Chains A and B, each alone.
Chain A
Amino acid sequence: MSLAWISKLALAAGLLASPTIGWAQSVNISYLTHWSPETVALLDSAAKDYAKSNPDVTVTVRAVPFGDLLTTLRSQGGSSDGPTIGGIYDLWLPELARDKLVAPAPDAVAGEVKSAWPAGVVSAASVGATLYGIPNEIDVYALNYNKELFKHAGITAAPKTWSELKDAAQKLTRKDAGQQGFGMINSWAAGVVHPFASLLASNGGELVKDGKPVLDSPQAGETFQLYEDLIKSGASDPAMATADANTTGPFLDNFVSGKTGMIIMANWWESALKSGMGDKFSNIATAPIPVGPNGDKPHSISYSWMTVVNANAGEAEQKAAWDFLAWLNSPKSGENGASAMSDILMSMGILPTRTSDIEAHKDKLGSEFLSGYVSVLADAKPFPVVPGGQEFSESLQQTLEALQYGQLSAKDAQANAQADAVSILERAAK
């Protein structure tokens, strides 16, 4: 073979190999979230900032409705082509970790998280001693009320006790105007169960204690009874309570349009309320959860979210994903010492969890709406994270909805809820 031919073959081989070499060096990772398009745009922008110093890593953001998030993670997370990063609710972690869908955090990331986040939040992102995700948000519940409707009803202060809550709800109810005093939620498990659990916690009760359901307690009985009283008095109308797959729907519409006087809702609704109410958002105020007859003080339940990495993704993708997440959650990535993640969260009214982020966003966290949530953070009780937790939530949702629609009495609802919870948690623990 002549030298010319050898040169041509070498050139051809080089040309063929060059794209392969380039492909091998670049890494594509995907980020699955349930955020709205506006928030996804902020995450896209952060990913572009990251790409400036990491040109070989491409981050693609994909959003699905909240109602489809777990299903998408479960159906696609088992494959290496599934989402590399997923934003998950802490209740889902034990089962995702058990099924080896999420990867343990590398030592460096775990060390950073343990030193820079509060211990309670770190434990919610862990199973046993193993950390699986980088925590990002924490959510608590408070009473949201419409100051304008309070004024019209002659109520001067937010209710502090259950009897004041029932009284205010009654005064705020105007059936002829299609107005309800207190809004409950249905058709969305967390939306139904979390306000109930917050009222229960504010009455000195718990959903689960030492891994076993304790819905048969007198405190729980009183909480079921409170629901029945509010429904029977007409102060809460279940037909105004429906939520859809995007956690919006008539329940939100009725509150933003001034047809509901009070709701118990989480801080992350700030962005939905602002976009739904515009200037009228200033009518909304927050107050701690009213305290029940057996409670000592207001207690919200809290839950957190974290970002996890697909355990079935390739080694290079997993490494790039952890590196991106460490950057996204570090004080280097955002404004004024805040992380880019916390800037994104604060745009939705969501409380960040990294200690340095709370400090960096001190001013905004002191706003009239959010300060009501920050104030209940210290006494918040974490929602129980146990195997079978999602099924337990959905089952309790069904029972509470049956109570809302008058299909069950408070006593029967309590008995059903406890019996179902026992069988679900026992089966999941096997």
Chain B
Amino acid sequence: MIKNYRASAGIMLAPAVTLIGVFILLPMLLTIWLSFQDWSTQTPFSNASFIGFDNFREVFGPTSVGRHFKRALLNTAIYTALSVMLILPLSVAFGLMVYQRDVAGGTALRAVLFSTYMVPMIAVTLVWSKLYSPSEGPLNQMLGLAGIGPQPWLSSPRSALISIVVLNVWQQIGYFTVLAVAGLTQIPGSLYEAATLDGANRREQFRFITLPLLRRTLLFSAVIAIINAVQVFEPVALITQGGPVGSTNVLTYHIRRVGIERAQGGLGSAMAVMLMLALIVVVCALFAFANRKDDE
């Protein structure tokens, strides 16, 4: 009986397991294998030759390959951290605003917020590149009206990455607001009623009811925001080309340049493996932190 049960479970799981194996696990294993090879992307896999950890030594070494990779890794980390740090609080703030039933136009506001997420990133990028234009850009013109001089936005290594983060936050905030609203709907209204009877003010209700009960939603939002941020590509490819001075050279753009443009498949794969490992570590740390809080 158990044997039959196992066989049928195996048959039912096989299609999903096969699909995951072929389309997810196999490419990942192939990338890991290639990261130990000297291989040009334009040649068959059979031309790859094993070079041990040389690619990893190179990407963390003192030469231009290592310096540019480490800079791209750091840029990606800063971009991701800033994006998450802005998106999460803003999404909760906007979520609270549009979730209030007694505020007129809450649904319309929710639709407007979500609409930015429906605009393709490529269009957002083109529009923002003009908004940031140093001479005829509306942002500098508005600052000029307020008596503030023109800002370099994308033309300065100090502000270029932050300018791209702002663009990303503007596009993504609607989606994360919807997630926050979904989390808010799961919190029973009776808790707020009881807290009000106990004399808790709005701030205390937010701190001791809303935030703790939103933790799972915020964890999910943080993981998705991190993954989205790490995959940033269009604004860099279209507007800044990784510059100036490599200040917006993020890992996806750098890996594309190394692995495809220069056809250095082994090096590009080693960089992709490092990115994957970094992502796994960060997401695991985030879950561990959330679980510890749950235990407490």
Contact = CB atoms under 8 A, between A and B. Distances in A.
A405 B157 contact: yes
22 contacts: A67-B241, A68-B237, A70-B261, A71-B260, A71-B261, A99-B40, A187-B243, A187-B244, A188-B243, A240-B155, A245-B238, A250-B135, A253-B134, A253-B135, A390-B261, A391-B262, A394-B257, A395-B64, A395-B68, A398-B64, A402-B245, A423-B65
B46 interface: no
Nearest to B257: A394
A203 B229 CA distance: 46
> Which of B64, B68, B262 has the most C-beta atoms of chain A within 10 angstroms of its own C-beta?
B64
Interface string B30-42: 0000000000111
B64 A424 contact: yes
A100 B156 CA distance: 40
B154 interface: yes
Given A74-B41, A95-B263, A245 B239 contact: yes
Contacts of A398: 64, 68, 245-246
Given A71-B256, A95-B262, A404-B244, 6 more contacts: A74-B41, A99-B263, A239-B156, A242-B243, A390-B262, A424-B63
Contacts of B245: 186, 398, 401-402, 404-405, 407
Given A186-B245, A187-B244, A401-B244, A257 B155 contact: no
B72 to A, nearest CB: 11
Interface in A384-402: 390-391, 394-395, 398, 401-402
A242 B260 contact: no
Contacts, number: 103
B155 to A, nearest CB: 4
Nearest to A75: B260
Nearest 6 interchain pairs by C-beta: A187-B243, A99-B42, A420-B64, A239-B152, A401-B245, A239-B155
A78 interface: yes
Contacts of A424: 63-64
Interface residues of B, number: 35
Contact of A242 (B63, B65, B136, B155): B155
Interface of A: 67-68, 70-71, 74-75, 77-78, 95, 99-101, 178, 186-188, 238-245, 250, 253-254, 257, 259, 390-391, 394-395, 398, 401-402, 404-405, 407, 419-420, 423-424
B155 A423 contact: no
B129 to A, nearest CB: 7
B67 to A, nearest CB: 8
A423 B43 CA distance: 23
Question: What does DSSP make chain A's interface, helix, strand, loop or mixed?
Answer: helix
Contact of A250 (B40, B134, B237, B238): B134
B215 to A, nearest CB: 41
Contacts of B241: 67, 187-188, 243-245
Given A74-B260, A75-B260, A250-B134, A242 B64 contact: no
Contacts of B154: 242
A405 B43 contact: no
A78 B40 CA distance: 12
Contact of B237 (A67, A74, A257, A259): A67
A195 B154 CA distance: 22
A69 to B, nearest CB: 10
Contacts of A240: 134, 155
Contacts of A178: 135, 150
A244 B263 contact: no
Given A99-B263, A101-B42, A187 B240 contact: yes
Contacts of B256: 71
Contacts of B135: 178, 250, 253-254, 257, 259
Contacts of B257: 394
Interface in B229-253: 237-246
Nearest to A189: B241
Interface in B193-238: 237-238
A398 B246 CA distance: 7
A395 B254 CA distance: 13
B64 A401 contact: no
Given A74-B41, A238-B244, A250 B64 contact: no
A186 B248 CA distance: 13
Interface in B1-57: 40-43
